[in-house]
Amino acid sequence: MNLGINGLRSAAELAENKPHGTRVKYVGGCRCVPCRAANSRYSCEAEARRNRGQGNGLIDVSEVLAHLRSLSLVGVGYKAVCETAGVGKSSVMLVMTGKRKQMRAANARAILAVTPDMAIRDHARISVKPTLKLIRWLMNEGMTKTEIARRLGYKTPALQIQKGLITARNANRIERLVNQLRLGE
């Protein structure tokens, strides 16, 4: 294996073991009819994708960066966004640090499609306000904070919630408890 200047194998090396009638073989230097047809098909399909607005060229990252920052403000970290969008963490980190000013359009579309609900992880800190409403409902139904804590499986006999933020995991546990009681599950 012979690595080039940038540490990658040449197109000719990559094409060596590929069958004729593939674009890789064409890019590797083969100009037989099946390989030329494969390259032509690829070019036509790529042009059609670009015409539909689905091209995968390089685009400016400013909109993606703004979206990542807005998600961060509601407790969604870049790793959760990457996992949800199916995009590599290292490329997003380069965008966030300003080392990369462009990225592939498909990756940008995937990141921009991520909403806070899709990407919040268990340990993410979210607003406690909706959860406090649920706790008030439970207490109006006759439960004490000790009973709520017991039903949630907490080791301490008291429900201790800081003002402002709660983990998504705890918020989900309380929401499930309320839903069980409301629906009689």
pLDDT score for 117: 79
For residues 14-41, average pLDDT: 93
pLDDT score for 29: 93
**pLDDT tens per residue, range 126-144:** 788 999 999 999 999 999 8
The CATH number assigned to the domain with range 58-119 reads 1.10.260
Q: Is the pLDDT of residue 185 over 70?
A: no
127 vs 120: CA distance, rounded Å: 12
102 vs 46: CA distance, rounded Å: 20
Q: 0.85 cut: is pTM over it?
A: no
pLDDT score for 6: 65
For residues 105-113, average pLDDT: 92
Mean pLDDT of the chain: 87
pLDDT score for 4: 59
Which token pair is 139? 């207490």
Residue 111: partners with Cβ closer than 8 Å, 6 or more residues away: 64, 67, 68, 81, 85, 87, 92
pLDDT score for 160: 74
In angstroms, the Cα distances linking 96 to 69, 72, 78, 110, 140 are: 9, 12, 9, 16, 46
**pLDDT tens per residue, range 36-48:** 999 999 999 989 9
Q: 9 has which bridge partners?
A: 3
